[in-house]
Structure 1
Amino acid sequence: MFIFVPPSEGKAVPTDAEPVISGSLVLPRLAPTRDALVTALIRLSRGPTAAALAALGLSEGQREELAYNQIIDKAPAAPAADVYRGVLYEALDLPGLRTQDPEAYRRAEDSVLVFSGLWGVLRPSDRIPYYRCSAGVKLPRVGSVTAVWRKALIGPLTELVDEHLVVDLRSTAYTGMWRPAARTVTVRVMHERMVGGVLKRSVVSHFNKATKGRLVRALLRAGAEPKTPEEFADALRDLGFRVEPGAAPGSFDVVVAEI
């Protein structure tokens, strides 16, 4: 089983560590693509400020993000598990697994892949610096990073995933980078609550991210190895999640009343 998750905009800033080595990251064949994108991002971030902010989808109040981007190739790097923050990662708590449940963390190393606009895909232990480059960004002389990764990932990632079940928890922005051919599960988190005496359900970003982090953590700790979408749904039910069939084959709704 492989579990695909998105990155997070919120990140910790590594300190006192060696810079990233692109060839040391998962799927080393992607190193030339990673290096080309890093070079293009540095060039953009060192250029005219207004143009760089616009290209990266940043506001004037986020100018400091450009300073980080300007030194990506020399900045300290740390495991992705420690760099990515945000609701999903707080709920997943990979650093906690590393110290409290090493076996579960080893499973995360084997199965969790973080999709990134700059790095393509990452294992939790892959060392990266602080950066700002989301999927959908267009870099000068390179173009859309999503399109770049769609081409670069098709061979190496397809070979890695092979016939394994893919649990695809990526946000929409990152699904275009690589699409599993088959044996894929998707999850929608539905927040259920009473409104004016009527039971209603809706998708709420905070509940969605937190619940996905919790269910990944639960699967890792349980050592679950589902091979089909049905086995995946059964594994979640065994772990106490309320799971219902979704609208499409291989899709499921996880219904929550509270986090």
Structure 2
Amino acid sequence: MGKVDESVNQTDEVDAATGSQALTILIHTSKAMRPAPRGGATLSVPVLRGRAEELATYLKTLSVRQLAAVMEISPELADRTHGLFADWGTDPAQQSPAIDSFAGDIYSGLRACDLTAADRAYAEGRLRILSGLYGILRPHDGIQPYRLEMGYRLPDPPYANLYQFWGDSVARRLPSAGVIVDLAAIEYNRLVTRFLPRDRFVSPRFLTMHPKTGEPRFVVVHAKIARGAFARWLLSARVENPADIVEFAEIGYRYEPALSKPRQPAFVCKEFEGKGLSVRLHDLG
């Protein structure tokens, strides 16, 4: 059962007002989620929860058939998704911290479960999670399981286009100055990149050497895990200076100057050392 700490909700307003120069780390949600644990975690309230409640209230009105069509999923999965929205609410007893709620590959790299208490406290001021339903989340914001990707086209205005629904409200919740390390997928980072100067963003690229050709290539699963590992490293190493970003050397990756561009540092691994969701589940089984 979660406990709400209302005092935590002042931090975003303070950051935005002071124009903090600290690094801000952006990641996004995953479709795969964990059930809310039966624990005593102290939860904060999402800063855009009012808008999330409005959106969730609308989603509750959609039928299983409509959800299947909009999300292009099977009737069985649509039925489960319909149940998630039916059960969705704001009771902390049914919620878990956002940082612990997702199970996709980026979260395989983040490994939130074994971050230290000090790391998690530090993450509160640095890490932000972009979400189709909640807009933007801090690590310990309380959330419930749901399924809603930014790219979905819902049947009715003003919800048909989620980018229009959220407008600039997500971008306004970020600090007004400082570097943003963008580790989010394009469909999510559009929530903020449309409204903020380009020179605020650093967007790392992660490549894997092809075993036969010896050429670096983009491997989707590897890159997702690497983004999570990069976010974890920024937090655990307390990286504050953007110039230090090139020191990243986790799960086999090393900085590659020849492939890098301004504000797009490239990291290449010869042998990928990360573990994806399927591998981790196998290890646990």
The alignment's TM-score, normalised by the length of structure 2, stands at 0.76
1:67 and 2:67 matched: no
Residues 195-210 of structure 1: matches in 2 within 5 Å?
Answer: 195=212, 198-210=213-225
Shift in alpha-carbon separation, 1:54–1:239, aligned structure 2, 3 A: closer
* Structure 2 match to 1:253: 266
For 2:255, which of 236, 239, 243 is the aligned residue? Answer: 243
Query: Which of structure 1's runs of 4+ aligned residues deviate more than 3 A?
Result: 15-18, 237-241, 245-248
Q: 2:262 is matched by which residue type in structure 1?
A: P
Alpha carbon RMSD of aligned pairs, Å?
A: 2.5
* Structure 2 match to 1:4: 26
* Structure 2 match to 1:113: 128
Residues 122-201 of structure 1: matches in 2 within 5 Å?
Answer: 122-139=137-154, 140-141=156-157, 142-154=159-171, 156-157=172-173, 160-179=174-193, 180-181=196-197, 182-195=199-212, 198-201=213-216
Structure 2: runs of 5+ lacking an equivalent: 1-22, 274-285
Offset from partner CA, 1:38-95 (integer Å, 9 cap, x none): 1111112xx2x22221113322231212111222126711111221112211221112
Q: 1:50 is matched by which residue type in structure 2?
A: R
Contact 1:150 1:178 in 2 (8 A): no
Contact 2:202 2:263 in 1 (8 A): yes
Contact 2:98 2:141 in 1 (8 A): yes
Please report how far the alpha carbon of residue 252 of structure 1 lies from its aligned counterpart in structure 2 after TM superposition.
Answer: 1.4
Contact 2:252 2:269 in 1 (8 A): no
Identical pairs, percent: 23
The alignment's TM-score, normalised by the length of structure 1, stands at 0.83
Residues 76-91 of structure 1: matches in 2 within 5 Å?
Answer: 76-91=94-109
Q: Partner of 1:10: helix, strand, or coil?
A: coil
Please report how far the alpha carbon of residue 254 of structure 1 lies from its aligned counterpart in structure 2 after TM superposition.
Answer: 1.1
Shift in alpha-carbon separation, 1:51–1:239, aligned structure 2, 3 A: closer
Structure 1: runs of 5+ lacking an equivalent: none
Q: How many residues align?
A: 239
User: Which stretch has the larger CA shift, 125-134 or 58-67?
Assistant: 58-67
